[in-house]
Structure 1
């Protein structure tokens, strides 16, 4: 009989010493290792584990790897494949299966994986028989080096299996809806992102995955997070469907007071858009895993902020109280918008997050980082609470994420589908074109009273014109911006019928 305090003591001691609950570097296991003995599990146990972990000094997880995995190139690492049929629960008709992922390349940190069944947790020992090493010279018997994360596979009773989500690297995870490619990356927690004091990257140290019952349409995952500043416990519930929904509940236990942290954060790549000044010699019309940042404020205003690859690091802050939702959206779903038959950016997921409960005062932070590569996730956004995390206390939050083609909450008005800008030949002015689309633009009464309410700060806008097309349900707004010698200009545009807003609010910061 295990006592809960004994289980906590053993687990905490192993984590605090930088080792997994079962040592990764002890005597080599047999070629086909036997699963470790199960131990009692409860959600409260992980909460207490996180609380106890936060009361101790931080110890980093192990990152050392034996040959040949210590210095793998990217090509060698991605060449390591999981053998068919080796996934956990493969062939058991559970609706889901789980593939542990190998360590190597940038994913060197060891993560412990457990499976929960009948109230007991069993650690998944490293098994080299799971993998095809694609020509790497691997020892006949390897030590238990653990894993870097795991992939969730949707395994319906009838039909082909498909990737649903992946948890790998720091506190990062990604998911897709049916028919999509992996794109935007979610963050379990952001700390001092792009802060002059230096960013801290919290990491999931352990995952406990509940074995689903037959016919279940949800997968429950528990996670223990740790960093020099914060320990925490996460509870994820994944539900596949037309959109893949992930409900997240988290409790944070800061070791010290943290004044800059982010919730429901995400990162996405944006190399080239029609608004960018950074135009590489690229045949593609657009290279971006997120067309913009959508926000629904606590006051009910819909905001749309296109994102761009900047010449210099840019920060934008959208102050709010109790936000209703925000996320990275793909609105341009035609392959012609991108002209990329290999990457298919139009198939990337939109990610929409809705707070569950009130989050109080704070701001949605947007960071746009200069990038020369489409492999860099240079667009980062998150909710930054005004209240700090206080050392020695705890804080609990919850939110729901939709990985989708279209978010469930959408503006009941015209939306900005396209934005372009360019220098006017022979002039210092810049011309912008913003194309709004929506059913309201087929309403002749509304369009007869339509005007474009545009503000600039600093600088000024001139030559503002609107071109409506009732049949296409669009309105093109064309305007010229004079920054008046300044190196930035904040733009705000909304369509009105008299004083009634009939579009979302389009926001953008022009920089030279």
Structure 2
């Protein structure tokens, strides 16, 4: 529940970066206050940032953020949203014909961490700090007493967002806000799931740690550029890090090339690389919390993996009744991510969240990552207000203090992942009452024992061409038995539906791991479907007829 307290309060729980050692680059100067970057010029490049992170890791952690002025600390979410950055003071407002621009987020409410911002001239490798001052913002009806902010240039900022032409003052495509969280959009301009710079002890028998990005440096782009580079310093009680993001704001998607250098202060039980956070309340496979006007509610519907051995995995997400953590072993993974592949408005009927427009996020490792696990945590939730899905790569090697750990990878924010298997893929998973022939219903003619039915839809690949040779579902279950298998061609989706019943062989309620793929002869036709099913207790394994006929 510590995670939920963090997310709900939007609190930044990690470290304050001091000004000793290499961090002396943060010292302010006194240039004209009318300039956006008003600090003195100091040397900067990525190698200096890496040295800064290494130096900082050898210093004691600085502790929680300082208290905000009362007028900011007591802001409501609505009041905080009323504070808007003044576009006339945007970071690159003086670049004529620019394609990109940067607006900064105000500190306040739960965003207490002081994040420092720097503008970098990539030609001279000189950086100048942007100091906080109230005139950079429009406070509208937020009710902020700006007299409490005068002379508080050490407040810093909470984060930043990047706007893209032709709507430079209205629509953002990338956002970094809170701890090390960041998001991007595709051509729908609809935000959805989030990524993080680092996750520490997400499921390790102790409170989770949320590292912070404490400073950003922006390379100044040319007018026609739709690619920009931003550098970040990460700090937390257990680790520091130097990051480089090369962010390509394409027409249909955003692609981020990321290089990170992590320096643990202490041994870390569970280090999460490329953490992704999303929300799954209910979908085609999980209806327990869908007692709303919406057929489905989720930011992502599956975990997809392209394993190092070439196998493609589809693991539909769940909203379990108790927290679940699964680790999928791999070596040198080719890619993984949380995907939202259903983009039909009719499947959500949501005009607030617009879940049909939400992007997928695909992770493409650069280089060999070695052995480790793709970890998936699913947290029970009653609705759509809290993220309850976490996915990340955990290296198998122990994480010890004093070493440097380097990772490179690419993130794709888009409606569809950048790569597909060419095999038949899972379109949807459905579950319901079983134990009777499809098209009938339980009753006196079919007094069979209780069962749970699964319907998994496969589309694409060579599945139709292989049908005359015979399609064979290969189904395995960690407990119970599989029965009543049917293979149906479904013309409206131009694919095949595989139906089967899972029948319990004990009273246990432990999660059951189900696995299925399609083949013809010895040739695999589809990606592998994985599913975790939670059997009800024995007294609930019955069909209830609650009709009242008079």
Say yes or no: TM over 0.5: yes
Name the CA shift for 1:260/1:34 in 2 (closer, same or farther; >3 Å). Answer: closer
Q: For residues 420-474 of structure 1, what are the alpha-carbon distances to aligned partners after superposition, in whole Å with 9 as ceiling and x for unaligned? A: 112345753111111111142331x435410111111111111111101467421
Whether the 8 Å contact between 1:151 and 1:167 is mirrored in structure 2 is yes
Q: 1:160 to 1:146 in 2, by over 3 A?
A: closer
Listed one character per residue, the Cα deviations across residues 24-43 of structure 1 (whole Å, up to 9, x for unaligned) are: 9xx9x979988121211121
Compute the TM-score of the two structures, normalised by the length of structure 2.
0.85
Q: CA deviation at 1:392?
A: 0.9
Deviation larger for 487-496 or 354-363: 487-496
What corresponds to 2:338 in structure 1? 328
State whether residues 241 and 262 of structure 2, in contact with CA within 8 Å, keep that contact through their aligned partners in structure 1. yes
Give the CA deviation at 1:405: 1.5
1:403-442 matches, within 5 Å, as: 403-424=413-434, 428-442=450-464
Structure 1's unaligned 5+ residue stretches are: 1-10
Matching residue within 238, 242, 264 for 1:233: 242
Contact 1:491–1:507 (CA<8 Å) still a contact in 2?
yes
In structure 1, the partner of 2:296 is 286
Number of the residue aligned with 2:126: 120
Aligned pair count?
497
Query: Contact 2:73–2:110 at 8 Å: present in 1 too?
Result: no
CA-based RMSD of the aligned residues comes to 2.5
The match for 1:481 is: 502
Kindly indicate whether the alpha-carbon contact (under 8 Å) linking 2:488 and 2:498 is maintained by their aligned counterparts in 1. Answer: yes
SS at match of 1:336: helix
Q: Distance in 2 between matches of 1:279 and 1:16?
A: 52
Match of 1:245 in 2: 255
Q: 1:39 to 1:327 in 2, by over 3 A?
A: same
Residue 265 of structure 1 deviates from its aligned partner by 1.3
Asked if 2 retains the 8 angstrom alpha-carbon contact of 1:244 and 1:404, the reply is: yes
The correspondence of residues 11-26 of structure 1 with structure 2, limited to 5 A, is: 13-14=18-19, 21-22=26-27
CA spacing shift, 1:447–1:508, aligned 2, 3 Å: farther
Give the structure 1 partner of residue 546 of structure 2: none
- Do 2:103 and 2:160's aligned partners in 1 also have CA atoms closer than 8 Å? yes
* 2:201 is the counterpart of 1:192: yes
TM-score in terms of structure 1 length: 0.91
Alignment partner, residue 40 of structure 1: 43
Choose which of 479, 484, 505 in structure 2 pairs with 1:458: 479
Query: Following TM superposition, by how much is the alpha carbon of 1:500 offset from its aligned partner in structure 2, in angstroms?
Result: 1.2
**Contact map agreement 2:196 2:274 (CA 8 A) in 1:** yes
Alignment deviations for residues 203-257 of structure 1 (CA, whole Å, 9 cap, x no partner):
1111111111232231101111111111110000001213211000011111122
What is the aligned partner in structure 1 of residue 230 from structure 2? 221
Q: C-alpha distance in 1, partners of 2:527/2:80?
A: 45
Verify the 8 A CA contact 1:180 1:349 in the aligned structure 2: no
The match for 1:371 is: 381
Q: 1:6 is matched with which residue?
A: none
CA distance in 1: counterparts of 2:311 and 2:204, whole angstroms: 29
Q: Distance in 2 between matches of 1:91 and 1:282?
A: 49
Match of 1:163 in 2: 172
The answer for the alignment partner of 1:51 in structure 2 is: 54
- Contact 1:42–1:119 (CA<8 Å) still a contact in 2? yes
Aligned match of 1:139: 146
Secondary structure of 1:383's counterpart equals: strand
Gaps in structure 2 of 5+ consecutive residues: 1-15, 435-441, 444-448, 536-550
Q: Is residue 2:534 matched to residue 1:511?
A: yes
- 3-state SS of 1:215 partner: coil
Q: Secondary structure at the match of 1:416?
A: strand
- Tell me the alpha carbon deviations over residues 125-164 of structure 1, each in whole angstroms, 9 at most, x when there is no partner: 11212222232142345222111000011135x9986312
